Chains A and B, each alone.
Chain A
Amino acid sequence: MTSLGFTKGLLIATILAGILAGPIDILADEKIQEWDLINPEGVIKIDPMKLNPHPTSLEGKTVMLRSNGKHNGDKFLIRVGELLKDKVRDIKIIYSWEVAPETVDPITGSQERSKKFAQKLASFKPDLVIASQAD
């Protein structure tokens, strides 16, 4: 070890020893007090949102598969679509990225855009939407 390296090592060891020894004196000497503090967290106010019942069967129904454009989301849903067609009679599958490419956006960014996307997707009148977030 060079003398410069040794000096540096000694300095680091001294600092570490100081830290491990506990709080610095000025804090150790501080008096314990009774405190009355404002809680900075604040309260939450959330109004409940009504969600929709699902169909009891997908037979004869239109199911939209929605990808936000993140990698492999579409590939995952294509396989889901194949399996749905195999398992469910008379099911109609709509791939959102084919019929509404403008709704493909991994980060919608605002509720306003989110609403526009939803309105566009809803215009195809699906009975259910299965959406992949991917990642």
Chain B
Amino acid sequence: MDQLELEKLGIPTVTIATTEFAPLARDTAFGQGAEPCFVVVPHPMGMISLAEIRKKAEAVFPEILKAATEWKPVVKPTLLAKSAYPAGRLKFKGTVEDINTTFFSRGLSLGIPIIPPTPELVGEMLKGTSRKPEEVVGRVPPRMGVLTIELVATHAVMAGCKPSYIPLLIAALEALLDPRANWRGVTTTTATSAAMVIANGPIVKEIGLASGQGAAGKMHHANASIGYAINLALDIVGGSKPPTPDKSTLGGPADFVCWIFGENEDMLPAGWNPYHVDRGFKESESVVTVMGIYPPVDNIDHWSITPEEHVNWWGHLVTPLLSIGGPCWITQMEQPHIIGLGPEHAQLVAGAGWTKDRFRKALWEKARIPFSAWPKGCPNTDLLLKKLGEVTPDTLIPLTFKPEDLYVVIAGGYGKHSHFFAPFPGCFPVSKPVRK
């Protein structure tokens, strides 16, 4: 919440929020140690007429004036229930089914079964890493819960991981808690956004993470259990539950098991680097890259026989995604987008002698909409014009400001499908090496 940054600069603020979203705003502020001044307006404010919104302003104006001149700050002490390590214990009498019922009712699971996290199983899980159990991985928004290595192991047990998976799980969580990953936004937004994890390097084969046919889908134990553990750890320690502070309008299955797969390095076209090498790592390193994404779009292309045809289809397919990006959140045009290029599509492109760079530049040229299609009420049009210089209604607006922001990963196995992963606003890919 930007108002808190203003408060840090010594400027008092009043925040207007609607009945539906005020709880999220309060939780966000609470997570940062503040209980600022709010005035609550009946929902909604958006998508109503000018007359209606003016009427809402008039109705609440006396409260705004009162808040502006009479509200007084209250200073609270540091809130720390107890030491983060060792984690608390739950003594319990019952069956595994009873544990699942109780965990779910107490907000300690996501709604699908868990394995009871006994100290013995957690101890076994910790044998998979050299990291100390008391080490803090990060503080998880919106609740700002302290995530220790011990708790990562606890969630890994609950999700059914093997000890060999925990180094990758820790690296993915470290990456998702990096401020550039904007986990707070991903987990509290109204959008159907979720975490995506791409793994590269030797770790993929060492732990059996799927990277080929149906890699991000079912029947792959490492992918399923790590993907589940990521969401468990983040949403239980982070306290993100619907209807608030998780404000997902619909949500989706990636709220349970996030997107996770290895890049298909076995089917990389000759001369193309693995994704982690593009990001500055050595090929021999094990690396995870995470990004907050919208649900991907499946590019079905059974028909192109030249790279030009294929790129042309890509361009038309992803152009509607400008409706996600530019018009509303222009900053999204500065964010990397990830193309999960199917191996067969990659071979089509590379077989004609194209480099990865040539492919993304060609796609960047094709994926455009005319400025005349820009929504009239877009608040950021002035900024767009500033960035692009002279613009006419016929000027073609690209998906991103730079072609380098279209990243290419070889994703999945045989089939004529590729996938386009658009970033959630404010999310940048974050890569972390996997430490054993």
Are the CB atoms of B92 and A35 closer together than 8 Å? yes
The answer to the question of A5 belonging to the interface, with a C-beta cut-off of 8 Å to chain B, is no
Q: Which residues of the other chain, B, contact A77 by a CB distance below 8 angstroms?
A: 57
Q: Which residues of the other chain, B, contact A32 by a CB distance below 8 angstroms?
A: 93-95, 98
The answer to the question of B207 belonging to the interface, with a C-beta cut-off of 8 Å to chain A, is no
Are the CB atoms of A105 and B329 closer together than 8 Å? yes
Q: Which residues of the other chain, B, contact A49 by a CB distance below 8 angstroms?
A: 4, 7-8, 32-34
The answer to the question of B320 belonging to the interface, with a C-beta cut-off of 8 Å to chain A, is no
Q: Which residues of the other chain, B, contact A40 by a CB distance below 8 angstroms?
A: 87, 108, 117, 151, 154-155, 158, 232-233, 236-237
Report whether over half of chain B's contact residues are helix, strand or loop; otherwise say mixed: mixed
The answer to the question of B372 belonging to the interface, with a C-beta cut-off of 8 Å to chain A, is no
What 0/1 readout, one digit per residue, does chain A (30-41) give for beta carbons within 8 Å of chain B? 111111111111
Residue of B nearest to A69 (CB): B379
Smallest beta-carbon distance B416→chain A, Å: 33
Are the CB atoms of B185 and A109 closer together than 8 Å? yes
Q: Which residues of the other chain, A, contact B45 by a CB distance below 8 angstroms?
A: 70-73, 76, 132, 134-135
Smallest beta-carbon distance B89→chain A, Å: 6
Are the CB atoms of B154 and A38 closer together than 8 Å? yes
Residue of B nearest to A79 (CB): B57
What 0/1 readout, one digit per residue, does chain B (106-119) give for beta carbons within 8 Å of chain A? 01100000001111
Are the CB atoms of A46 and B30 closer together than 8 Å? yes
The answer to the question of A3 belonging to the interface, with a C-beta cut-off of 8 Å to chain B, is no
The answer to the question of A4 belonging to the interface, with a C-beta cut-off of 8 Å to chain B, is no
Q: With A and B bound together, what is the CA distance between A118 and B78 in angstroms?
A: 25
Q: Which residues of the other chain, B, contact A87 by a CB distance below 8 angstroms?
A: 65
Q: Which residues of chain B from 40 to 65 have any CB-CB distance to chain A below 8 Å in the complex?
A: 41, 43-48, 50, 53-54, 56-58, 61, 64-65
Q: With A and B bound together, what is the CA distance between A71 and B37 in angstroms?
A: 22
Q: Which residues of chain B from 201 to 254 have any CB-CB distance to chain A below 8 Å in the complex?
A: 232-233, 236-237
Q: With A and B bound together, what is the CA distance between A38 and B47 in angstroms?
A: 46
Q: With A and B bound together, what is the CA distance between A80 and B84 in angstroms?
A: 46
What 0/1 readout, one digit per residue, does chain A (42-54) give for beta carbons within 8 Å of chain B? 1111111111111
The answer to the question of A93 belonging to the interface, with a C-beta cut-off of 8 Å to chain B, is no
What 0/1 readout, one digit per residue, does chain B (142-157) give for beta carbons within 8 Å of chain A? 0111111011001100
The answer to the question of A16 belonging to the interface, with a C-beta cut-off of 8 Å to chain B, is no
Q: Which residues of the other chain, B, contact A110 by a CB distance below 8 angstroms?
A: 179-180, 182, 426
With beta carbons under 8 angstroms apart, the residue of B2, B43, B54 that contacts A135 is: B43
Q: Which residues of the other chain, A, contact B12 by a CB distance below 8 angstroms?
A: 51-55, 127-129
Return 24 A-B CB contacts under 8 Å, by A number: A36-B119, A37-B117, A37-B119, A39-B90, A42-B84, A42-B237, A43-B84, A46-B78, A46-B80, A46-B144, A47-B78, A49-B4, A51-B7, A53-B12, A67-B379, A69-B379, A101-B380, A117-B2, A119-B9, A121-B11, A129-B6, A130-B64, A133-B21, A135-B44
Residues of chain A whose beta carbon lies under 8 Å from any beta carbon of chain B: 23, 27, 30-58, 63, 66-77, 79-80, 83-84, 87, 97, 101-115, 117-119, 121-122, 126-135
Closest 8 A/B residue pairs (Cβ): A109-B426, A118-B5, A79-B57, A71-B46, A69-B379, A51-B73, A107-B425, A39-B88
Residues of chain B whose beta carbon lies under 8 Å from any beta carbon of chain A: 1-18, 20-21, 25, 30-37, 41, 43-48, 50, 53-54, 56-58, 61, 64-65, 67-73, 75-84, 87-99, 107-108, 116-119, 122, 139-140, 143-148, 150-151, 154-155, 158, 179-180, 182, 185, 189-190, 232-233, 236-237, 328-331, 377, 379-380, 382-383, 425-427
Instruction: List 8 additional contacts besides A55-B68, A135-B43; criterion CB under 8 Å.
Output: A36-B91, A37-B90, A37-B92, A48-B76, A54-B68, A108-B426, A121-B11, A135-B21
